[in-house]
Amino acid sequence: MKIWKLLEAARQSLLKNKTRSALTMFGIIIGVAAVIVMMAMGTGAQRNIEERISTMGTNLLIIRNGTNQRGGVSRGAGSSRTLTLEDADAIRAEASLLEAVSPTTSTGGQVIGGGKNWYTQAQGVHMDYLFNRSWALSEGAMFTNADLRARAKVAVLGSTVAENLFPDQSPIGQNIRIRNVPFKIVGLLEKKGQNTFGRDQDDLILVPVSTAMFRLVGGRKWVNDIYASARDIDDTDAAMEQITEILRREHKLVDGQDNDFNIRTQTELTEMLTSTTAALTQLLMWIAFVSLIVGGVGVMNIMLVSVTERTREIGIRVSVGARSADILTQFLIEAVALSFSGGIIGVLLSWGIAIFMESSQEMTMIIETWVVAAALGVSVSIGLIFGLFPAYKAAQLDPIDALRHE
């Protein structure tokens, strides 16, 4: 049996009952479109979250102080106060999988400048901090290694602070007082907006970490966090191991002793935030998939009707020499043609819906190629699975009865 003749026969028989074919396809169209739209919404939401998390920084690892216990009383997260500038130096020198390391120490305080005052956080950081957080300056320059060594009283303002202290002028070159210590403004940070949790990321002042530790908080030995960036996102876990190894050695921890620090990665955060979305997407996907199955049952139903209607045709074909397999193939191809055409229209429909949702509902819709391929694959499989029973019934018809059928 020649495949083109089969396809032609399928086309003719589907066109013969246009309304019926269209209605049957409708079930598949809805199912395929629903699956793709749900996936597009889920992927879009995920991409949104990932993008917002990426504003936190580049391949970020955040090393925090661990828990301290004294006399069986746990002091809570960050209480161990064992991370130091020397730890950061050791990590910078030895951890080959990292490319920027910045110890940070944070202190809140009243800031006076430009005839106004504002309460904000002064963040003592290393210059690498800008790289860690993928942050750029909109004006001026970052402080230098020399400033760091000299514990220079220079500051870089976040845009919120600048707007509140110097609403009408450039803050560069101005003097401010943080907790009554005078600082000279050398740079202005680009606006970054809110972070994933809704906190204003621009409400801060960056100063050299050495200055912060020795002039603002009064001879503190420990730092709050150490920010680091993995050279490659795939090396995050290995980088974590390197850091752990270095810090355990620096902190002289013996085997069996718990880490007195912990490391958070951006990947963890992303996973945490996307897991809810992913679960919801999956649920909706299953519902959409069920509607696709229902569409398949529609195909089966119509194919059974078609086999009964065309009993005589089957009889004629068998009498002139069609084998069971020929009849089986013919009806299977018809069922697959039905569901596959439905699948293609469903893809186009979902595409239209995605464009509509993006423009009018301002939703991020991402249709991935593999999803389209999978949806088409599933629609073909549905045609095969649900077409098999009717096709088998047709192939098993007795030619004598079939020829007599009115």
Partner 1 sequence: MQAVIKTTDLRKTYFLAEPVHALRKVDITINPGEFVSIMGASGSGKSTLMNIIGCLDRPTSGNYLLDGVDVSDLGRDQRADIRNKKIGFVFQGFNLLARTTALANVELPLLYNRSKTSREATEQAIKCLERVGLGDRMDHHPSQLSGGQQQRVAIARALVNQPALILADEPTGNLDTRTSLDIMGLFQELNAEGVTIVIVTHEPEITSYTKRSIEMRDGLVIDDRILPKPNDARHDLKNFTSVTSL
Q: Which of 73, 146, 254, 320 binds partner 1 (CB under 8 A)?
A: 320
Secondary element (H or E) of residue 96:
none
The yes or no reply on residue 4 touching partner 1 (CB under 8 A) is yes
116/323 with CB nearer partner 1: 323
Q: How far is the CB of 18 from partner 1 (least distance, A)?
A: 13
Q: How far is the CB of 338 from partner 1 (least distance, A)?
A: 17
The yes or no reply on residue 321 touching partner 1 (CB under 8 A) is yes
Longest Cα pair distance anywhere in the chain, in angstroms? Answer: 106
User: Is 284 buried (19+), middle (13-18) or exposed (0-12) by CB count in 10 A?
Assistant: middle
Intra-chain end-to-end CA distance of the chain, in Å? 27
289/392 with CB nearer partner 1: 392
The yes or no reply on residue 392 touching partner 1 (CB under 8 A) is no
The yes or no reply on residue 5 touching partner 1 (CB under 8 A) is yes
Look up residue 174 and give its two tokens: 């101005």
The yes or no reply on residue 7 touching partner 1 (CB under 8 A) is no
Q: Which of 106, 196, 324, 364 binds partner 1 (CB under 8 A)?
A: 324
CB 259 within 8 A of CB 248: yes
The yes or no reply on residue 317 touching partner 1 (CB under 8 A) is yes
Question: Which range touches partner 1 (CB under 8 A), out of 152-160, 241-249, 314-322, 336-344?
Answer: 314-322
The yes or no reply on residue 316 touching partner 1 (CB under 8 A) is yes
Question: Which range touches partner 1 (CB under 8 A), out of 58-66, 200-208, 267-275, 322-330?
Answer: 322-330
The dihedral of CA 260, 263, 268, 270: what is its sign? positive
What is the distance between the alpha carbons of residues 395 and 330, in angstroms, rounded to a whole number? 9
The yes or no reply on residue 313 touching partner 1 (CB under 8 A) is yes
Q: How many residues bind partner 1 (CB under 8 A)?
A: 24
20/248 with CB nearer partner 1: 20
| Angular region, 78: left φ>0, alpha ψ -120 to 50, beta rest | left
Question: Which range touches partner 1 (CB under 8 A), out of 42-50, 257-265, 383-391, 396-404?
Answer: 396-404
The yes or no reply on residue 403 touching partner 1 (CB under 8 A) is yes
The yes or no reply on residue 308 touching partner 1 (CB under 8 A) is no
Q: What is the bridge-based pairing of β-strands 154-157 and 204-208?
A: antiparallel
| Angular region, 257: left φ>0, alpha ψ -120 to 50, beta rest | beta
Residue type, 290: V
Of 228, 234, 241, the residue nearest 267 (C-alpha):
234
Look up residue 14 and give its two tokens: 């589907």
What is the distance between the alpha carbons of residues 187 and 190, in angstroms, rounded to a whole number? 10
The yes or no reply on residue 150 touching partner 1 (CB under 8 A) is no
> What residues line the site for partner 1 (CB under 8 A)?
1-2, 4-5, 12-13, 16, 312-313, 315-326, 399-400, 403
